Structure 1
Amino acid sequence: RQVNLVSDLPGRALLQDTNLVNAWGISFSPTSPFWISDNGTGKATIYAVTNDALGATHVAKQSLEVTIPGEGNPTGQVFNNLGGFNGDIFIFASEDGTISGWRPSLGTNAEALVTRLTAVYKGITVATTANGPVLLAANFSEGTLDAYGTNRTLIQFTDPHAPAGYAPFNVQSIAGMIFVTFAKQDDTKEDDVPGRGHGLIDVFDLPTGSFHRFATGSDAGGKLHDINSPWGIALAPVTFGKHADELLVGNFGSGTIMAFDADGKYRGLLKTLDEGPIVIEGLWALTFGNGGRAGVPGTLYFTAGPDDESHGLFGALEPVTEDDGD
């Protein structure tokens, strides 16, 4: 069951916020509300999502709005509890090649941590190494996974087995593994070319700098047809019905959500009660709640940029069973 929580348009969701245009990255601390990157307005906005005693969902916008530096086109973001990077706890990637960070003392403005003019950053995560935390960013224009240590020195990694024209589209650390999704570059290498079978997924090993293939689209030399510019990644909890404990990957190109088991075996698309695939136009991030002010652990939350990324949606997919009457 889809519940639309926030939209930039009136009447589309429980709450309207005109800042929420092309809602993209999501992150949160173990207790914080949801932080969401507003790619179309250059902000990060914050929403508390809770369920009352009857199970009804409530959403409340928080007063803090954070302005992203540079051209202000944030994509992925990550909560950083590993230190470094000026103590910034929320870190944002942007399409203009900026990586920025925020900590409470900065107030309403994030600060630029890194600027790389040749980069188009579509996603970001943070990982631990023996030498401290490392930011990993999906550099779509250069076709690299960019690693920055706390000294901000850049090391770039490439998957030598990815077909020409495919580039890192997102990177997320899930259950101790670093997943990198790839999409097909357009002629300018700034945006993806959607299509059936367009995409692949790697697991990246940071100590060795090596990529290990997890799933390969039919356009990229594999057999997976349902993949289509994959971006969002989440691990389903044990309570999530038939797809419990499976890796969920959202397709920006088609709006569908794929499920994989731990070995990379494809388990099909998430479906509605009438057995049709769930489709969310312009689907970006996927995450389960934190059990605090960022939703409940058994519900799948998503962001999207519908109407060719000109609008924004933040919503929830609540698992339902046949006898729920939905």
Structure 2
Amino acid sequence: GAGGTSYEFVGDVTASPDPALRQLHQDGLKEVTVPGADSDTTDAGIGKTTGVIFNPAPLTSDKFVVTGQPVQVDGQQQLLSGSARFLFATDSGHISGWTEQGPDGQIVRHNGPAKDMFDGTAQGMNFFGIALEPGGGDTLWAADFGAAPQIRQFDKNWRPVPTEGFANPFATGDPIDPADPGRGNKARPGDPAPFNITTIGDRVFVTYATTKAPDGGPATEFDAGEEDSLDAEQEAAAQDRPDRGKVAEFDAAGTVVRVLDDQGRLNAPWGVALAPPEFGALGGKLLVGNFAGAGRILAFDDGTGDFVDYLRDDAGEPLAVEGLWGLLFGNGESLGDAD
């Protein structure tokens, strides 16, 4: 995504038997307009696209159905309806879906808008990442970094429902429900809160950025959508120990499995990926990208959760991509090499 638009690509699979897929290119679907987001970087901007996920359910399924999605085909408007192929989230609190099922069941891949399916702006929600429950795909999770930061849960009909599990292990506020300690505590400004949620197989990873109170505002309120992080210069001054984030692994039921031993190296972490075995010295390692600071990618031992090293360039220096967001290996078939 870029601002209020998601750009779609295929190819870049160097060993593909199909010559057309060896080069990165776009087909008939080049861009999708995302509700609740735009490219305006001033205070007048309505929001930005923060998360996009693929929904593997058949287009004819009843999971996350979109109806009446407009698209122009050969100068004529069609209304598409079907299970969403892609789901989008914005930091303005919107969740939308895009389908490619035409009126007669045919595949229609043309530029057009996604359909707005949930708007949490009135509740102060700011979504920074989304993920589908492993396995059935009937549940959608969203990392809300807004006025009441937490993992939100939605059913297959786009309806918000009580979140099962995913208690914040770093929250220091009052119990959410004194009668049910398993629900954990409320977060307070200064605590790490969910910044993204990612699935790898049947595993679920939640990255946490450090929250803060608004400048000059009440110390008990959150500066919604704004993380407390260090820039690259401040990060270097802290000897690369910004200590501005955490990563926890959960099972599919929302029970915490472990917390990665980052040793204070995280700085608003967002992207998480598991490197394939063929990925050189870091093959099989769990990779976590810092959004803030220099934008470094940390590698963790997937067995112990211990920090191992940074992803490094040809000169042996830690790779740095300021503003780094997602991490994703290709599928080796239609988009990107698997390694």
1:138 to 139, 143, 161: 143
1:279 to 314, 320, 328: 320
Residue 284 of structure 1: how far off its partner (Å): 0.4
Residue 216 of structure 1: how far off its partner (Å): 5.4
Q: List aligned pairs for 1:41-56, cutoff 5 A.
A: 42-52=4-14
Q: 1:117-143 deviations in whole A, cap 9, x for unaligned?
A: 22100001101467x611011001122
Tell me whether 1:58 sits opposite 2:20 in the alignment. Answer: no
Q: 1:221-264 deviations in whole A, cap 9, x for unaligned?
A: xxx13211100111100100111111101001131000111221
Tell me whether 1:155 sits opposite 2:162 in the alignment. Answer: yes
* CA spacing shift, 1:153–1:52, aligned 2, 3 Å: closer
Q: How many residues align?
A: 252
Asked if structure 1 preserves the Cα contact closer than 8 Å seen for 2:134 and 2:199, the reply is no
Tell me whether 1:252 sits opposite 2:297 in the alignment. Answer: no
Which SS does the other structure have where 2:133 is aligned?
strand
| Letter matched to residue 181 of structure 1 | T
Q: Which residue of 1 aligns with 2:176?
A: none
| Letter matched to residue 260 of structure 1 | F
Q: List aligned pairs for 1:220-231, cutoff 5 A.
A: 224-231=263-270
1:169 to 173, 186, 195: 195
* CA spacing shift, 1:252–1:237, aligned 2, 3 Å: same
Q: 1:61-82 deviations in whole A, cap 9, x for unaligned?
A: 3442111113452111111114
Which SS does the other structure have where 2:87 is aligned?
strand
| Greater gyration radius | 2
Which SS does the other structure have where 2:24 is aligned?
strand
1:76 to 46, 51, 55: 51
1:110 to 104, 109, 114: 114
TM-score w.r.t. structure 1 length?
A: 0.71
Which SS does the other structure have where 2:281 is aligned?
helix
2:64 to 82, 85, 106: 85
2:307 to 259, 262, 266: 266
CA distance in 2, matches of 1:71, 1:289: 26
1:199 to 215, 234, 245: 245
Which SS does the other structure have where 1:242 is aligned?
helix
Q: 1:38-66 deviations in whole A, cap 9, x for unaligned?
A: 2x2x11111223255799x7332344211
TM-score w.r.t. structure 2 length?
A: 0.68
Tell me whether 1:127 sits opposite 2:123 in the alignment. Answer: no
Residue 281 of structure 1: how far off its partner (Å): 1.3
- Quick check: which one's strand share is greater? 1
Identity of aligned residues (%): 33
CA distance in 2, matches of 1:63, 1:293: 15
Q: Which residue of 2 aligns with 1:215?
A: 260
Q: 1:258-277 deviations in whole A, cap 9, x for unaligned?
A: 01112211111111222210
Q: 1:143-169 deviations in whole A, cap 9, x for unaligned?
A: 200111113132245414335432101
Determine which structure has greater relative contact order: mean sequence separation of CA pairs < 8 Å that are 6+ residues apart, divided by chain length.
Answer: 1
Moved over 4 A (4+): 51-55
Which SS does the other structure have where 2:92 is aligned?
coil
CA distance in 2, matches of 1:143, 1:206: 20
Structure 2 gaps of 5+ residues are 39-47, 66-82, 103-109, 173-187, 215-222, 231-241
Q: Which residue of 2 aligns with 1:237?
A: 276
Structure 1 gaps of 5+ residues are 1-36, 218-223, 299-326
Q: What do you get for the CA RMSD once the two structures are aligned?
A: 2.5
Asked if structure 1 preserves the Cα contact closer than 8 Å seen for 2:261 and 2:305, the reply is no
Asked if structure 2 preserves the Cα contact closer than 8 Å seen for 1:85 and 1:113, the reply is no
CA distance in 2, matches of 1:134, 1:53: 35
* CA spacing shift, 1:287–1:128, aligned 2, 3 Å: closer
Q: Which residue of 2 aligns with 1:290?
A: 331
CA distance in 2, matches of 1:153, 1:226: 34
| Letter matched to residue 160 of structure 2 | T
Asked if structure 2 preserves the Cα contact closer than 8 Å seen for 1:47 and 1:61, the reply is yes
CA distance in 2, matches of 1:167, 1:280: 23
CA distance in 2, matches of 1:234, 1:248: 5
